Chain A
Amino acid sequence: AQSVTQPDIHITVSEGASLELRCNYSYGATPYLFWYVQSPGQGLQLLLKYFSGDTLVQGIKGFEAEFKRSQSSFNLRKPSVHWSDAAEYFCAVGGNNDYKLSFGAGTTVTVRA
C-alpha cells in the first residue's frame, strides 16, 4: 500500500530564513512525487513534481525538492522564506498508470517577522 509521512505537523520559521519540510513515502513501484501548498480558504496548488531524471526539481515560488530513493524521501526546501509562504504543505505520491494520489497529513508553516 502507498503512504506518505510528513513528520513535522507545524514549523515556525523567521522571514528570510531557510525552510525544509520532510516527506517520506512508501510505494511499491517507481513513485511519482508531488508537493502541494494550501493557503487559508484556498484549494491546493501544485508547487512541483518528480517523475524521473534529475533528482533535484525546481518548482514555483522559489521552492525545490530532492528525491532520494535510498531514503524514500522527497524533502521540500526554500532558501529564504517570505511571509506569504505561510500555508499548509502537502506531500503526495502516485505512480505510472495509477490515478490515485496518497497525501500526507500536511505541515503547517508559520512565518514570523
Chain B
Amino acid sequence: GAGVSQSPSNKVTEKGKDVELRCDPISGHTALYWYRQSLGQGLEFLIYFQGNSAPDKSGLPSDRFSAERTGGSVSTLTIQRTQQEDSAVYLCASSATGVSYNEQFFGPGTRLTVL
C-alpha cells in the first residue's frame, strides 16, 4: 500500500523567499508529525496534528514557521522569509492514532537548501 509521501524531494531557495513543503500521510491515519533533521543532529520535533487540529506547535522554531492540515489528510509546512539556518531535511510522519505506541511511518523527507 501507499506510504507517506512528501514533495518536493529537494528544494533550493534563496534567502528571504517563502517555501511550502507538502506531506501526504497514509490514508486513515489521524496523527501527523513534522520533524526537522539537521546535519549531524537527531530529529527535532516541530508540530503534531490530530485530525486537522494542532494541539502541539511547541517545536516550531519561530513565527516564520507555520503548518496546516486539511481534510484530516494533506499537511503543508510553510517557512516564510527563509534563512540559511533553515536548511535541513524536513520529515513528515503519520500514525494511526496519536499515541506513541502506534508506529510512526515516515516519508522520505524534503531536503531544503537555503542559499
Contacts and interface: CB of A to CB of B under 8 A. Distances in A.
B40 to A, nearest CB: 7
Interface string B79-115: 0000000000001010000111101111111000000
B62 interface: no
B103 A42 contact: no
B33 to A, nearest CB: 8
Contact of B31 (A42, A92, A99, A102): A99
A101 to B, nearest CB: 6
A100 B108 contact: no
A4 B42 CA distance: 10
B100 A43 contact: no
Interface residues of B, number: 25
Nearest to A104: B42
B100 A100 contact: yes
Interface string A6-48: 1001000000000000000000000010001000011111100
B19 interface: no
A44 B106 contact: yes
B43 A98 contact: no
B70 interface: no
B42 A94 contact: no
A67 interface: no
A103 B100 contact: no
Contact of A90 (B31, B42, B93, B101): B42
Interface of B: 3-4, 31, 35, 40-43, 45, 48, 50, 56, 91, 93, 98-101, 103-109
16 contacts: A36-B106, A43-B109, A44-B93, A44-B106, A46-B105, A95-B100, A96-B99, A97-B99, A98-B99, A99-B31, A99-B100, A100-B45, A101-B100, A101-B104, A103-B43, A106-B42
